[in-house]
Amino acid sequence: MSTVKAISKKELLPLLLMDNGEEETVSGITRLQKLVFLAQHGGLDEDPIPNLKEQVSFHYVAHDYGPFSKELYDVLDQLAEKNLINKEKTTTKSGNTRYEFSLSDEGKEVLKHSKEQYADNDRNILKGIQIRYGDMPLFELLDKVYAEFPEYAKNSKLA
């Protein structure tokens, strides 16, 4: 009999974003960074949603591709080390490295037993973020985030 690993709310947040009911994958660290950022900020003005009521938040700074959280990056590495997510390295058509993040079987099991750590409303917010922005072309997502949060675009390689 396996025991389910206990995880923190910060570790649970990206798992919930990956739990989109289908492939349970988020394509790229830049996209995942923006999904968590938008969840913390209530989406975009054109498509507002309530922001997360839980006081679990990652600190973001302006970086190469907009809002970036080193803390979130570290949490993703911890989740991969705990075998709760799969982190697969791929190469884009332009030759850049991209990571595909998906729930592992163990991650799915942990998620089943940990969802009560977030209120239903907050889980719905994360699901809404994934539905609204998860499949949006990355450069469109970045353009929208830059337009609404210009203070995070100041160090961007794209702005």
Q: Answer whether residue 4 is part of any domain.
A: no
Can you give the CATH number for the domain in which 52 is found? 1.10.10.10
Report the domain count for the chain.
1
Residue 143 lies in a domain: yes
* Confidence label for 7 from pLDDT (cuts 50, 70 and 90): confident
**pLDDT of the residue at 35:** 93
Tell me the range of 51-60, 67-76, 94-103 where mean pLDDT is highest.
67-76
The pLDDT value given to residue 23:
60
pLDDT of residue 1: 42
Q: Tell me the average pLDDT across 70-74.
A: 95
What is residue 159's predicted lDDT score, i.e. its pLDDT?
A: 59
What is the domain extent for residue 72? 9-152
CA angle 20, 64, 124 (to 5 degrees): 20
Residues 91-136: tens digit of each pLDDT: 888 888 889 999 999 998 898 888 777 777 788 888 888 888 988 9
Instruction: Report yes or no on 76 lying in a domain.
Output: yes
The mean-pLDDT minimum among 15-24, 38-47, 92-101, 121-130 falls in 15-24
pLDDT for the residue numbered 21:
62
Calculate mean pLDDT across residues 153-158: 83
Q: Does 15 reside within a domain?
A: yes
Predicted TM-score (pTM) above 0.85: yes
Q: What is the residue-averaged pLDDT of the chain?
A: 86
Q: Residues 10-39: what's their mean pLDDT? A: 85
Residue 53: is its pLDDT beyond 80? no
Q: Is the pLDDT of residue 55 over 90?
A: no
**157 falls within a domain:** no
Specify if 3 maps to a domain.
no
